[in-house]
Amino acid sequence: MKALSLKQPWADLVLSGRKIIELRKWNTNFRGEFYIHASRIPDKEAMKKFGFKDLPCGFILGKANLMDVKIYDNEKEFLRDSDRHLASNMKFGKYGFIINNVKKIEPTEHKGKLGFFEISIDKH
């Protein structure tokens, strides 16, 4: 199954349902279920902004479904969805991956990669 790495706290914000659009600088034709991987290195600025001190990094933490990709053509349209992607500017990218059916799973240590990547997790 595919996986996507997100820096913390963004991975945790997706898993908690507070963030339902993941921003990227690249588009994808992929749609479907994928694992959520928390990158090894967190976004320290965002950790402070959202009040997190310590979150798991370097683990597969959940599953989600990529429903669609929204392309933001301008800042006004982008800011209209700020409560769904939690970003204040377009520095993270103009492609909004719309996510639903998020489920936490037992954390599994795993290395991340750029883009969507294939992994296999043993289901004990």
Task: Specify the pLDDT at position 79.
Answer: 94
Which position has the higher pLDDT, 21 or 89?
21
Residue 121 lies in a domain: no
Both tokens of 52, joined, read 């997190």
CATH number of domain containing 79: 2.30.130.30
Q: What range does the domain containing 81 cover?
A: 2-113
Number of domains in the chain: 1
User: Of 57, 87, 58, whose CA–CA distance to 75 is shortest?
Assistant: 87
Whether residue 25 lies inside any domain: the answer is yes
Give domain status of residue 8, yes or no: yes
DSSP E strand stretches across the chain: 2-6, 21-24, 32-38, 59-71, 95-109, 116-118
- Is 49 a member of any domain? yes
pLDDT 10s digits, 45-98: 999 999 999 999 999 999 999 999 999 999 999 999 999 999 988 899 999 999
- When pLDDT is cut at 50, 70 and 90, the band that residue 124 belongs to is very low
Region 4-9: mean pLDDT is 97
pLDDT tens track for 41-52: 999 999 999 999
